[in-house]
Amino acid sequence: MATVIINEKTAKGKKLLEFLKVFAGENFINIEREPNAETKKAIEDAKKGKVVKTKNISDLMTKLKS
């Protein structure tokens, strides 16, 4: 098994990923999308209830600025 990391933000990366998607479902390739470390931590925090609750947008902006 080999792991290839493709930068999807570049034109060549996008083209390569589109090419590889042609083979999705075949038994020799598995395309997985994995979130980065910061996103994984945010998901875990949300599952644990570690979130900021606000009443409205004004309240949210006040809490973000503090």
The torsion angle over the Cα atoms of residues 54, 38, 7 and 29, rounded to 10 degrees, is -100
The torsion angle over the Cα atoms of residues 3, 8, 11 and 15, rounded to 10 degrees, is 60
Residue 1 has pLDDT above 80, yes or no: no
C-alpha to C-alpha distance for 16 and 10, rounded to whole angstroms: 10
Model confidence pLDDT, tens digit, residues 13-33:
999 999 999 998 888 888 888
The token duo for 54 is 């606000």
User: pTM of the prediction?
Assistant: 0.49
Residue 7 has pLDDT above 80, yes or no: yes
